[in-house]
Amino acid sequence: MEIRAKDIFLIVLLWLLITDLAVIFDIPGARQVLGFLLLTILPGALLLQVLRVQGIGTAGYATLSVGISIGLAMLFGLLQNNLFLLLGHSRPLSTIPLLASINLFLIVLAIAGYALNRTTTRQLTGPRLTPDEIRFLIPPVVFPALVVLGMHLMNTAGSNHLLIAVFVLIALYVAAVSFMHRKFSGRLYPAVILLISISLLLVLALRSGHIIGTDTHFEYYTFVNVRDSMHWSIAEPSLLDACLSISLLPAIYHAVLNVPAEFLFKTLYAVLYSISPLIVFVIARRYLDDVFAFLAALFFMFQPQFLSAAANARTYLAVLFFMLFVMILFSEIGARAKKALLVICMASAVVSHYTTSYIFFAILAATWLVMAVVSRRYRVEAYVTLDLLAIFLALQYIWYVQVTVLPGEYFVNFIRTTYHNLDQVFVSGIRGSDVQTAFGYGIGEGGIPHIIQFWFTWLTLALVVAGMLALIGSYAGMTGRAGARLPGFMRRPFEVAYTVMAFVCMGLLAATVIFPTLSVGYEISRIYPVVLSVLSVFFVIGGIRAARSLHSFAGRTGSRKIATPGGGNPGMPAKIVLIFILAVLLPHFLCSTGVVHTAFGVSRDITLHAEGEQYDTRFVHQTDRNAALWVRDTLPPEGIVLGDAYGHGVLLSQGHVSPKRLGVIREKEDIPEGIVFMRYTNVVTGRFLDGNVQWVDTEEYADLLHAQRLIYSNGGSVVWLPAGDYESRIIM
């Protein structure tokens, strides 16, 4: 079927009309579906049409449409917000003004796309799936539905059996696709990756009806402020003011979709971030055969950090823009369109999360510096140019120093602290908890499953390092030097700039371990997804080379060649390589999801259990919400509200109590004068997490609370008031 630019223009107008009617008349279902597609796909797709983007493939085009749409929503939303405020309209994020502005913006893009592509036609073909392709697609299509049902059973009945079954089925399906890759159609990989990604991300997003996480409570509080005021502004100076990803963006989606705010905030980022493994696949497929690119994408999404992305909204949205940047940078997109898209990715990362933006810039700057040295001796394409760095630095300066201020001060203080602590490189105790855990600190206390996960985690990292070493050992072949033979498992050689960026990422990972303040200021669990977006391809290469070495050592063949999935090269069968990689990858996945821990009777993961450390720390019970609402609605908006180390999060997200009023009880011998809020874990479980992040028995506070008056109790959470003059002031 042939489609012309005029047809696209008319389709856009019709789409806008139907969506507007669904939003204005609040048609259930239609408003949510059409509104989500309008915000998440159409802006990016129209801009790609305007820029005449080609040379990135269907999967790349789709991920770009979504990623650029998210970025445009924040950037255009900020422009619209400030322009309306300047004109005296105090509620620019209310539904009608926002919808009108979005319509105008999209119509302008549609007109530009039509004008620039008037004579262009596109061929649209239906999927026309074969019976074999349909059979291969049935399991991943069912996975999201099984996750929704499994999490419903977990939330209502405490049963984790279906969720565990889903994780096991995903592992078995991955193994089946890998071993049957000759029968598996290459065009199915993107759909399979996306469906598995959505399934895994929805697990945490659907756990409980309330916010789960640590910083997530502060992020949700910021979003609610913007939603209620219907405009974005810097009211209470905070680092989160610089993060439009968790304030302006969800407020725009809420205004258009009209879904419950807490549900939107819990699920939106899971859906948006689900394209990230697909980006890894697009990047990896540029260099590797399809099945190996598929394994690289799986390696990225089988990490614990990926599974918890729904609870780290601003961080992972910024990571998404870094990944898009890398994909665009090493693509065949035309120079002008490429530069425009790269600038949008940089700007979007800047307004998404300050620290990830700094890491983003550091990787690009280091890559540019090394390439500047290399280019003095060899004729190579730089890719990362000085003008891109200048634009990036200017965007950061404007947003972090001139507009939001605090992120700029945070960066200066961070650099100063890092410099002053250079003499403490060998002091392990001051490193971040993630680094200490990675090196096995306290591993014996966790038992056998923790030991298993520890070794498989290091084994995956060892394969990444092995892949990097293989790149060094076969540098000429892997980078396409004249006269060198390309390894059989590779489609094309690595660009020198990609190689340099990979080593920069590995160096960044090492620096996080070496310098203590880096791991404290920005946890290694947040840096890992950034570097893996570049390094995942080397996990597969490392697996191939390790399998070859083991196979040769076993004496089964003297050949040093590896058969490609298509059977083009003689040598070691690809099946042996796949067995080796899957033998590392799948156990690592089952450890990350908590299946291994559950099999050993360890209740670690909040997604699979209603007990344990994660559950007691992060789960918000309905009684907690009711108590927080009572504090907000009944007590006057003054006085300090005290709780344990995670009680303030409940009060923020559920009661919308101002952070200025919140305090943490640090020592049992010293409770400052104020209202005391005890959450479900403190009251029913009898565990209290003090300000030093140490669990103590709640009974130890009984004598201190005896002097106060119990004013609220709902069977799970309680509120105490100080006696005397303070009590009379609060009650009045």
Residue-wise DSSP of 356-393:
HHHHHHHHHHHHHHHHHHHTTTS-----S-HHHHHHHH
The alpha carbon dihedral of 425, 429, 430, 432 has a sign of positive
Percent share of the chain, pLDDT over 70:
88
- Tens of pLDDT, residue by residue over 590-618, are 999 999 999 999 999 999 999 999 999 99
What is the C-alpha to C-alpha distance for residues 411 and 362, in angstroms, rounded to an integer? 13
- Tens of pLDDT, residue by residue over 261-311, are 999 999 999 999 999 999 999 999 999 999 999 999 999 999 999 999 999
Asked whether 566 and 289 are in contact (CB, 8 A), the reply is yes
What is the C-alpha to C-alpha distance for residues 61 and 56, in angstroms, rounded to an integer? 6
What is the C-alpha to C-alpha distance for residues 48 and 64, in angstroms, rounded to an integer? 8
For tokens 């205004």, name the residue: 255
Among 586, 620, 628, which Cα is nearest to 712's?
Answer: 628
Instruction: Give the start-end residues of each E strand in 608-698.
Output: 641-643, 662-664, 675-678, 687-689, 695-697
- Tens of pLDDT, residue by residue over 639-655, are 889 899 899 899 999 99
> What's the predicted TM-score (pTM) here?
0.93
Q: What is the predicted pLDDT for the residue at 728?
A: 46
- Among 39-53, 100-114, 132-146, 484-498, name the one with the lowest average pLDDT: 484-498
- Tens of pLDDT, residue by residue over 36-69, are 999 999 999 999 999 999 889 999 999 999 999 9
The full length of the chain comes to 732
Question: CA-based angle 380:381:387, to the nearest 5?
Answer: 135
Asked whether 490 and 288 are in contact (CB, 8 A), the reply is yes
For tokens 């670690």, name the residue: 604
Residue-wise DSSP of 150-198:
HHHHHHHH---HHHHHHHHHHHHHHHHHHHTTTTS-GGGHHHHHHHHHH
Instruction: Give the start-end residues of each E strand in 462-572.
Output: none
The alpha carbon dihedral of 610, 616, 618, 622 has a sign of positive
CA distance to 127, 437, 448, 449, 605, per residue, from 444 (Å)? 52, 11, 8, 10, 18
Asked whether 592 and 584 are in contact (CB, 8 A), the reply is no
Contacts of 518 (CB under 8 A, 6+ apart): 418, 511, 512
What is the C-alpha to C-alpha distance for residues 426 and 436, in angstroms, rounded to an integer? 13
Among 438, 217, 199, which Cα is nearest to 311's?
Answer: 217
What is the C-alpha to C-alpha distance for residues 274 and 199, in angstroms, rounded to an integer? 9
What is the mean predicted confidence (pLDDT) over 685-701? Answer: 88
Among 345, 395, 550, 381, which Cα is nearest to 463's?
Answer: 550
Q: What is the predicted pLDDT for the residue at 474?
A: 72
Q: How confident is the model at residue 564 (pLDDT cuts 50, 70, 90)?
A: low
Look at residue 103 and tell me whether its pLDDT is greater than 50.
Answer: yes
3-state SS class at 485: coil
Neighbours of 656 (CB within 10 A): 16
Q: What is the predicted pLDDT for the residue at 568?
A: 42
Asked whether 607 and 154 are in contact (CB, 8 A), the reply is yes
Mean pLDDT of all residues belonging to the chain:
88
Query: What are the structure tokens assigned to 538, written together?
Result: 């080397």
Percent share of the chain, pLDDT over 90:
67
3-state SS class at 466: helix
